Structure 1
Amino acid sequence: MVAAQKMRRPAVVALQTLVIAACYYGAGRLGLMRRLTVEGAVFTPIWPPTGVAVAALLLIGLRAWPGIAIGALLVILSLSSFSSLELSAAGIVAGNTVAPVCAWLLLRAVHFRTDLSRFRDGLALVFLAALGAMTISASVDVGLLVVTGKLALGDFWPVWLAWWVGDAMGVLIVTPVILMLYTVRPPISLARWKEAAVIIVAAGVMVPVATRSSISMLFLIYPLLIWAALRFELPGSLVCALFASVMATVAATEDAGPFHRLSHTEVMIKLQAFNGTMALTALLLSAVITEQRNTRRSVELACQELVEVLEHLTAGNPTPRPPPEEGEGRG
């Protein structure tokens, strides 16, 4: 029995590693379908593999890092431009692996909860994992491009900014969605499904119009995002934000809608500003709403328990009879 368990554990770890590598590679191929160019360097506005990597570490632990490294290597080998750069490829794999691990360590240090039910968890994911730890991958990857002569030294900071924001967007948009799917609850009631259907239809109409209209109408998405967060908390706001980010990225890479006739740098700034503010709004607003509702439920439960305790005490100690009046009971 013990021997079987010892053999089963390496098999499970190997299977987890292969699944993580496959998910990382698949997310990388999806991200590479939409690219932008800044100062001659090609990058993705949203790099989903960083979100997959951070989510895998949060759900499985440090043993997820080999799968992340293998997935990063497979993505790099699939690009012909990096096929002959052994040193560069090794450095990029290291940077793309170390950055999510550092994000996991930072989140673990502040006792991060994967259900994102607290406002502090949203802040930690934004500032520690996304904006903080992803500076490592951007610095290593862009630095290697400069060292190998693929990028001029004067173009370091614009490309670094684009690379960093793309990695950070992957954590802000993809990681919460994976964590949400991991803790998905049973189906909601029929009445809630009707409201969810209304939100889905509204998103299907408003988001394409806002991202494809020649008039800058991206602000129309925010009321829809707030509605989804108020009624369905994290699942509703994250799905809405993911859909809007994908549609905006497609429009930006096709030079359509509010991104028409803009320079590559202007497209990058406008798109990343929109994706970033929308992801922050969805994540932090949902965390605040969830935290307030959990607090209210805790207070209601405590009040209910207090009432039950008082009823129990009252039942065990009957009300004493009043003392007889003077002269009553005598004679």
Structure 2
Amino acid sequence: MVRTQDLSRPVVVGLQTLAVAAAYFAAGRLGLLRQLVVEGAVFTPIWPPTGIALAGLLIFGLRCWPGITLGALLIVMSITKFGADLLGNLIGGTAAPICSYLMLRKVGFRTDLSRLRDGLALVFLGAFTGMLISATTGVCLLVATGKLAADDFWTVWPAWWVGDAMGVLIVTPLLLVLHGARWPPHFSRWKEALGVALIACVFVPLATLSSVSLMFLVYPLLIWVALRFQLAGSMLCALFASVMATIAATDEIGPFAGLNHVQVMFKLQAFNGSMALTALLLSAVIVEQHNTRRSVERACQELAEVLEHLTAGETPPGRPPRPEQSRGGPHGLE
């Protein structure tokens, strides 16, 4: 039995590593479908592989980090020739989610995102702080190799950083929710969910593709979905809105028409970032309040049962019976 377990463990780790690499590569190819060019540097407004990488580390542990490097290597080899600057990008792309994972572990992060502190930790440690490594490494290498002018550093760096952070803010929570969900799911409000999906399919394209600036229409819908369907619903809505806004920005249509590349970049990243923050933090607050209310209800129910048994002169369930008092003297003699 011990030998079987010893043999199966490397196989499981290997399969998990390959799964992370395959998901990283697939997400990277999807992210490359929409790109923006700022000062000659090409970047993706949302880089999903960072979310895949951090989610894989949180679910499988630190042992799956080679899958991140392998996935990044496959993406690089599929689009260009491998060079010294790309080696630095591989190191930065691997180190960033690992540092995010270690920081989240340090503060006691829970993958169910059931507390506001978990949402704040994912935002400020997992996304904003951890992704500083990949963005700084990548842009510095562009400057060092002469592919980017030093004067353009602070124009390209925010775009790279926010793109990596958006992958964490949108993709990681969704994967964590799917991993912790019960299967098959119980759709108690499937009619409402279908209605919300239909409304989203109408209002989100209208808000992001219309020549009139109507992107603010997404926020009431996002709040409604967060109140009714918590994290799973709000992150799906945020993902859909981000994808539609990215399509409009890269095609330079709708609210992004007539803007230069830098203006498009800042407007898109401001919209995506604020929407992802709203969905994640609002959902975390709602889930925490629901959990607190359920805990209070359980405590009140247990207290009511105890009072009921005490009133009836019975011993409450789960409590040891009280010792009977002797009728006689101190030694129990009559």
Matched, 1:258 2:263: no
1:77-129 deviation per Cα after TM superposition (whole angstroms, max 9, x unaligned): 1122xx142x1121111000000000001100110011111000110000011
**Partner Cα distance (2:153, 2:292) in 1:** 47
1:42 partner SS: strand
1:316 partner SS: coil
Contact 2:76-2:82 within 8 A present in 1 as well: no
Alignment equivalent of 2:122, drawn from 122, 125, 140: 125
How many residue pairs get aligned? The number is: 314
**Partner Cα distance (1:181, 1:110) in 2:** 23
**Structure 1 residues 244 and 316: CA distance shift in structure 2, 3 A:** same
Q: Please list every run of 5 or more consecutive structure 2 residues that lacks an aligned counterpart in the other structure.
A: 316-334
2:312 partner SS: helix
Query: Which residue number in structure 2 is paired with residue 116 of structure 1?
Result: 113
Give the structure-2-normalised TM-score. 0.92
Matched, 1:97 2:94: yes
Question: CA offset at residue 7 of structure 1?
Answer: 1.3
**Partner Cα distance (2:314, 2:221) in 1:** 56
1:92 partner SS: helix
Letter in 2 for 1:93: L
Question: CA offset at residue 155 of structure 1?
Answer: 1.0
**Partner Cα distance (1:295, 1:268) in 2:** 40
**Partner Cα distance (1:34, 1:231) in 2:** 31
Letter in 1 for 2:161: W
CA RMSD of aligned residues (A): 1.2
Query: Which residue number in structure 2 is paired with residue 25 of structure 1?
Result: 25
1:298-327 deviation per Cα after TM superposition (whole angstroms, max 9, x unaligned): 001000000111111122269xxxxxxxxx
1:163-220 deviation per Cα after TM superposition (whole angstroms, max 9, x unaligned): 0000000000110110111112343345x10000110000000001111100000000
Matched, 1:194 2:209: no
Letter in 2 for 1:59: I
Superposed, 1:97-246 pairs within 5 Å as 97-185=94-182, 186-190=184-188, 192-246=189-243
Letter in 2 for 1:241: A
1:222-279 deviation per Cα after TM superposition (whole angstroms, max 9, x unaligned): 0100000011111111110010001110111111110011100000000000000000
**Partner Cα distance (1:146, 1:309) in 2:** 70
2:109 partner SS: coil
Matched, 1:295 2:292: yes
**Partner Cα distance (2:314, 2:108) in 1:** 45
Query: Which residue number in structure 2 is paired with residue 322 of structure 1?
Result: none
**Partner Cα distance (2:120, 2:92) in 1:** 24
Matched, 1:306 2:303: yes
Query: Which residue number in structure 2 is paired with residue 279 of structure 1?
Result: 276
Query: Which residue number in structure 1 is paired with residue 41 of structure 2?
Result: 41
**Partner Cα distance (1:229, 1:27) in 2:** 25
Matched, 1:57 2:57: yes
> How many percent of aligned residue pairs carry the same amino acid?
66
Letter in 1 for 2:108: H
Query: Which residue number in structure 1 is paired with residue 70 of structure 2?
Result: 70
Give the structure-1-normalised TM-score. 0.93
**Partner Cα distance (1:35, 1:197) in 2:** 32
**Partner Cα distance (2:32, 2:16) in 1:** 24
**Partner Cα distance (1:176, 1:189) in 2:** 20
Letter in 2 for 1:111: G
**Partner Cα distance (1:223, 1:246) in 2:** 18
Q: Please list every run of 5 or more consecutive structure 1 residues that lacks an aligned counterpart in the other structure.
A: 319-331
2:186 partner SS: coil
Letter in 2 for 1:275: N
Letter in 1 for 2:20: I
